[in-house]
Structures are given as C-alpha cells and as structure tokens.
Amino acid sequence: MSYAVANMKKFKLTQVNGLGHHDERKTDHHRNQEIDVTKSSENYTVVPERYRKPDNVSLQKFIQQRISEGRDSSRAVRKDAVTLTEWVVGSDHQFFESLTNAQTKSFFEDAYAWFANRYGAENIPYATVHMDETTPHMHMGVIPLTNGRLSAKSLFNREELRSVQAEFPEYLKSRFWKIERGQKGSQHRHLSVEEYKKIAPELQNKREQLKKDLQGYQLIDVSKLEPETIPQQVKTGLFKTETQYVQTENYILTPKDYERLLQRVRGVSDVRVAQESIWEIKQRLDAKEAHLEEREKSLDHREERIEDSENVLAEYNQLYRTAEEKTTKVEQLTKENKQLKHVIQRATVQILTLKKALVNVVKAVGLMKYSDRYLQPLDTWGERLVDAIANYTSKWLNHYESPDLAKDVDSHVQLSKGINDEMRALEPHKAQQQRHNHSQGMERGM
C-alpha cells in the first residue's frame, strides 16, 4: 500500500519569486538534476482560472495584493513574516506507475480540492503538477490568512499539521484512491531534496550490501566439508572390544572457512553492538526531541506575546499619529480663528463707519423737509418719503444693535421738526412786526 505525502515549507515575501520561477520552470538551469527539461511541457496546473495567478503578474505582487485584501489590520506586514507556505503533495513512484496520465491528473485535482476547501481557493495562487521528474508530485502555494490575520504559526500549528496528516489520506481514500496515511506518531523527519541527495549514494550502497547478505552466495558449502568422526569402543565379542570411528553430525572446517565464519560472527556481533548503540542514541534523541518540542511550544507562546505586544504598540502608534494630526488641526484652526477675529474687528469698524454715514445721510434728508434753507419746499409725498427713511433707519439701527445711533436719528429729526414748528409759529408775529416797521418808516418820511 502506498502512502500519502503532504510536506510543508515556509517562505518570506523576498523568497517567493525565485520559488515561482522554479515551480513554473521559467529557467532552463536547475539545481535538481532529476528534472528532464524535455518533459517540462507536460507539467500543468489544477487551479481553476478564476483563482489562478495571471501570467503577467509576479507571484510576489499577487501575494501582496491578496494579503492586502484579506487582512483586517492596516499596519505594514513585517519583513520577516511568512507570506507563503508551499506544500509538496504526492505519493510514491509505485502508486503513480499504476495510474494513467488522466488518473494522475484526477488525483491531484482531488488533492487540490481538499486544500482549497480547507484554506480557501482564493488563498492558493498556484498548484503546479511536475511530470518532468522521477515521480509526479504537486507544488501548491497557500497564503496563511486566517480570520483577517496573516499568521502561518496560528494557521499551521502542530495540531493542524497532525490533522492534515490524518484527514488528508482519509479524504483520498473516500475518493477511492488506494492510499494510506503515514505511521501515526512516527518520529521520522522528512528530508529536503538537498538532504536526500547527499545521503542517497550511501543508502544505495548499504541496500546492495544487505541484499547481497540476504540473497547472495553461501557462506560455507557443507557438501564440500569433511564430516567429523570420533573414536568409539565397540564390543565385538563376549570379552572383546575394538576401536571404531563413528561419524557425528558435525563437520570439520578448513582454516580458510573458519576465518570466513569468524569474520561473519564478528560482523554479526558488531551489528548487535551497533544496534544497541543506535537504540541508546535513539533514546537520547527522543528525549532531546521531546525537550526541543517543549522549548518550541514555549517559543511559540513567546512569539504570540510579542506579536500581541506589537499589535498593541501599533494601535498606540496609530492613536499617537491621530492625536498629532488633531493637534495640528487645532493649531491650524486656532490660527485661522485669530485671523478671523482680526477680519471681524475690521469689518465691525467698517460697519460702524457705514452706520454713522447712513445716520448723516438721514440727517441731511431730514433737513430737506424741516430746514428753510431749501428754496424749493417738499410736497406731501416728499415729506412722507423723508419720514419713512427716518423711521426705517431708526428701526434698522435698533435691530442691528445700534440703539445710540437710532436715538441720534430720532432726536435729530424731532429737533428739526420742533425748530420748524416754532419758526412757523413765529411767522405771523414776524410778518406783523415787519408791517409795523414798514408803516412807521413811511410816517417818518412824510
């Protein structure tokens, strides 16, 4: 039975473009010597077109745009933040040997569908199947956005990774693929391509040696060995015995065969000692790994606290910037208010001047009615017009908080009217006096 493979690696934003060039085979020079560039045209993507990264947009820019859309926070993304996790999905060579190309594509489409349903199709910019290497496999990028946050640590924590290893193979089995999950609770660690290639020759040599030991030549050809015989007294008569050599089940080794057997026994002994040593080393490594896991959990909690502190600091910085902006606005408004006060003061002076000028005009108009200096007296309509102007001006000045000026208008008009009335009252007496003076003058002349 074959096993499902789903390994994840984290990448920062500065690393993703190089990753995209490799996955999309945008260069003919590859460090992986197993890539057959003549088959690179057989590679394909299983991402639906509506979610696929456009060819004219770099992977880095596409990820930045998606993070901007999916994050709730407005603060900048940390430079060391994980912006992409890449999953290598597949199985062993034996599994794919039994599939046609169409079945292989269906397998990877099912695998993509499981990840898209779990982490969001909009967060998977690419899922490229490589058919130009020894074993078909899929490189799939997942942007670690969850609940409006960019956090690979929160999304792909230890529990989630274990869930993937358990649930992903079960899903594939439900789709009728003959596949199993890896050993549960295994302490084995997945090797990177570079690590595997370093130890591959040594592993191959050991495999050949083991195969030779198990299925190779016979250590000793028993048919060619001389059987062991021992002397034994055999009774041949009533009181007579003789020595006879009896063959045992043992065989006599030649010095050469003995040396070969001794070397093999020593080898087995060495293997046993090595196994015991390996077991002891494994126990120490397991204990050390458990200790490292505890340290990793502690560091995870510490990083979470640091991230929370950074969020609080970012909020304080935002509040500080807002306060600075408001302070600047207040200072600007204060300055504008001061300038407006000066404008109002000048306008007030100008208005007062205009009011006084209006009062003078009304006074002058009043004189047209009540002063005898004007040779052409006003008719009735003219007098009513003068009175209306005086009354309107008085009311207007009172309305716009200038009662003193209004009073001045009223008193001036009334004074002119009073003087005019007195002058009119004196006019008959004055005429009589003039006639009297005139008559006296005539008498003296006579």
Q: What is the pLDDT of residue 175?
A: 93
pTM comes to: 0.50
Nearest-5° Cα angle at 143, 11 to 96:
80
Q: What is the pLDDT of residue 390?
A: 73
Question: Does residue 435 surpass a pLDDT of 90?
Answer: no
Question: Does residue 170 surpass a pLDDT of 60?
Answer: yes
Q: Note the pLDDT tens digit of each residue in 336-391.
A: 899 999 888 887 886 777 667 666 766 666 665 555 555 455 566 766 776 777 77
Question: Does residue 261 surpass a pLDDT of 80?
Answer: no
Q: What average pLDDT does the segment 274-303 reach?
A: 72
Q: What is the pLDDT of residue 23?
A: 72
Domain annotation for the chain: domains and CATH numbers? 2-184 (3.30.930.30), 348-445 (no CATH)
Q: What average pLDDT does the segment 206-224 reach?
A: 60
Task: Write down the residue that tokens 């716009």 correspond to.
Answer: 400
